[in-house]
Amino acid sequence: MEPADRDAFVAENLDRYAETQGVLPERLAEFGEAYRSQGHLTREQLYEIAYESSTRSAYHVEKNPESRCREVTRNARAVDGDFSTIHLITGLAGFKAPTASCVLAALDGDRHAVVDTRVWASLERLGYLEGRKESFDADDYVTMIEPIRDIAAETGHRAVDVGYALFAHDAHVREGTLH
């Protein structure tokens, strides 16, 4: 796919994103503002992010001590490397890689995106990845974020928006159920 085609792909699917049941970009932006101004996230804020991402498993976040939530999210800002950063956040109860990616995308949408099964499937359809996946770890996040950043660099869109577009694309073209 040529860069101009990728730009049209992202723009078209970003418009479709509002029709999906994905994480609300406005909510993620609010969490990011709080994260940057406070230097950390509280357990309540992490619960709200997890609820936006996966209502069924959000209750697990309450198992984390408040001090650990603040410590991990403060440290995640200081760690170098995508693998280390996402791995640190997945150490919190209730945060597998897709939900942890919400925290990273909230903090820095220029470099990070919300990822999940739909995003992987779209990247696979576009030829960036091989095979289907239904569960993700820190290594899978790194695998997905690299082509997302490449598309962002080629199109001038933020990584977070490329992720939203990939999600919307899968929601638009997938036939049958998600899993």
Answer yes or no: is pLDDT of 176 > 80.
no
Find the domain containing 142 and state its range: 3-22+112-173
Residues 138, 156, single domain; the answer is: yes
How far CA 157 is from CA of 3, 4, 95, in Å, comes to 12, 12, 27
Give the end of a domain, one of 72, 90, 107. 107
Out of 107, 142, 161, pick the residue that ends a domain: 107
Query: Using a CB cutoff of 8 Å and minimum separation of 24, what contacts does 124-132 make?
Result: 125/169, 125/170, 125/173, 126/1, 127/1
The per-residue pLDDT for 18 is 87
For residue 63, give the DSSP letter.
Answer: G
- The vertex-30 CA angle with 28 and 34, nearest 5°, equals 115
Mean pLDDT of the chain: 92
Question: Is 179 inside any structural domain?
Answer: no
Determine the pLDDT at residue 21.
82
Classify residue 4 by burial, with Cβ atoms within 10 Å: 0-12, 13-18, 19+: exposed
Query: What letters, b where the CB count within 10 A reaches 16 and e where it falls short, cover 157-178?
Result: bbbbbbbbbbbbbbbeeeeeee
What φ, ψ does residue 34 adopt, rounded to 5°? -65, -45
**Total count of domains within the chain:** 2
- pLDDT for the residue numbered 54: 82
Amino acid in position 20: T
Q: Does residue 122 fall inside a structural domain? A: yes
Give buried/exposed letters for 37-69 (b at 16+ CB in 10 A, else e). eeebbebebbbbbbbbbbeeebebbeebeeeeb
- Predicted TM-score (pTM) above 0.85: yes
> Are 97 and 122 members of one domain?
no
* Confidence bin at 33 (pLDDT 50/70/90): very high
pLDDT in tens, 70-107: 999 999 999 999 999 999 999 999 999 999 999 999 99
Q: What is the pLDDT of residues 97-126, one digit of tens each?
A: 999 999 999 999 999 999 999 999 999 999
Amino acid, res. 71:
E
- pLDDT score for 175: 76
